[in-house]
Structure 1
Amino acid sequence: MASSDSGRERILDAATRLFSALGYDGTSTRMIAEAAGLNVATVAYHVGGKRDLYLAVMERAHETERAALEAAFATYTPDVKGLLDIVDAYADFCLSRPEIPALWMHRWLSDATDVAHLEEQYVRPLMQMVTDAARKIVPADVDVEYVVWTVIWATHGFGCGGVLDADGNRAGVNDPQAVARFRRNIRRIVALAIGAPEQAMG
């Protein structure tokens, strides 16, 4: 049997891949065990049942995302450039870890509806961190929450689905040109939404 830590991580890695690809409802514990190269009993020993696996995957995803945001805020300056740097950092995180946005995308599509507390536990605190910072530097008439949600919707959508190029081929996180265009565009959208000067758009 694998050591406790390495066995658990191996299982969570497999569960993350499957939950992000198929959703909670489309994934079974047996599928996770097979993807991890283990039997169902070993999975249960290390992590528990399917719900336990999902909660552990979402907790790990949240901790990873929170660490990335906290690192970005460690060098944050309370001005337009600082806010746009946070947008860049968030986009970079999502595009480098597309499985994490994919986990949340499945929830948006009514996946795992019996696990109802995760948005309140994980999404709201991170949203609060960003919206509190933004409210200090943007005009009062800007709907800060919707600006932040626009970044989330666009970034998650691009990370999971990409865009169609002129030939009808899908270009996404593995296409450097498409990524560069996306990053420029989302930065410009936010800059325009908060009334930033042209030179801040980058």
Structure 2
Amino acid sequence: MTPHDDPRGQAVITTAMRLFSALGYDGTSLQATAEATGEDPAWIQERFGEKRDLYLAVVDHAGRAERAVVEDALAALPAADAEGVATALYGLSERYLDFCAANPQIPALWIHRWLGDAADIPEVEGTHSTPLLNFTADAIRSAARAGFVDGEVDADLMVRTLVWSVYGFLHGEMIAQADRSVSAHPEARRRFLAHHRQLLDRVLRLPGA
């Protein structure tokens, strides 16, 4: 049985994710996780291993959730026409924003890594974020080969631009709001998605742009 298969283990992962995303890897300990969950530190160590192992379990959980959203949003690709490609990419933009808004700890984990957190655990990007970025970029490249989007676009940087803008919006723009939830600011969400759609239209030269 993996930690994801039982409520007790899942509760530890959820709490550890909250701590790692708020305090970073160096600022989080097994003892703090135990205190936050009410579990015995010895049980957590027996169940998950050292802090590094717990961190990897948290990142794995986050990566799986993130990948499920992206793969589902892009399930319609390759599409039979340009309109189908546009619909899939607009849907990805909306669903990824809403996913990150509902799970702010996940982008916070990656932002910490951008700032050098847990730098002695370099395999995380290669296992999770890079394959997902490549998967999304490959979908754009496939559409380009089919002639549905601009073949000159840098698909890798396009995908990263979409991610950077979502993170910046949620952890930069929205942080100034008293209520930081996107659901409390539907107009801000509408404007951001309209901007994202325009970005996709202009850079990829989607139909109607």
Is TM more than 0.5 here? Answer: yes
Q: Return 179-188 or 50-59, whichever deviates more.
A: 179-188
Instruction: Give 1:158's match in structure 2, choosing from 166, 169, 177.
Output: 169
Partner of residue 159, structure 2: 148
Q: Return 107-116 or 77-86, whichever deviates more.
A: 77-86
Does the 8 Å contact 1:127/1:148 carry over to 2? yes
Does the 8 Å contact 1:21/1:102 carry over to 2? yes
Partner of residue 13, structure 1: 14
Q: Return 58-67 or 134-143, whichever deviates more.
A: 134-143
* 1:8 CA drift (Å): 1.1
Instruction: Give 1:179's match in structure 2, choosing from 183, 189, 192.
Output: 189
Please list every run of 5 or more consecutive structure 1 residues that lacks an aligned counterpart in the other structure.
none
Q: Distance in 1 between matches of 2:187 and 2:42?
A: 45
* 1:131 CA drift (Å): 0.9
Counterpart mapping for 1:86-101 below 5 A:
86-101=92-107
Percent identical residues: 39
* 1:140 CA drift (Å): 2.0
Alpha-carbon RMSD across the aligned residues, in angstroms, is: 2.3
Please give the TM-score of this superposition, normalised by the length of structure 1.
Answer: 0.86
Please list every run of 5 or more consecutive structure 2 residues that lacks an aligned counterpart in the other structure.
80-84
* 1:82 CA drift (Å): 2.2
Please give the TM-score of this superposition, normalised by the length of structure 2.
Answer: 0.83
Does the 8 Å contact 1:76/1:86 carry over to 2? no
Does the 8 Å contact 2:31/2:41 carry over to 1? yes
- What is the count of residue pairs matched by the alignment? 195
Partner of residue 38, structure 1: 39
Does the 8 Å contact 1:19/1:103 carry over to 2? yes
Partner of residue 103, structure 1: 109
Does the 8 Å contact 2:100/2:107 carry over to 1? yes
Instruction: Give 1:120's match in structure 2, choosing from 116, 121, 126.
Output: 126
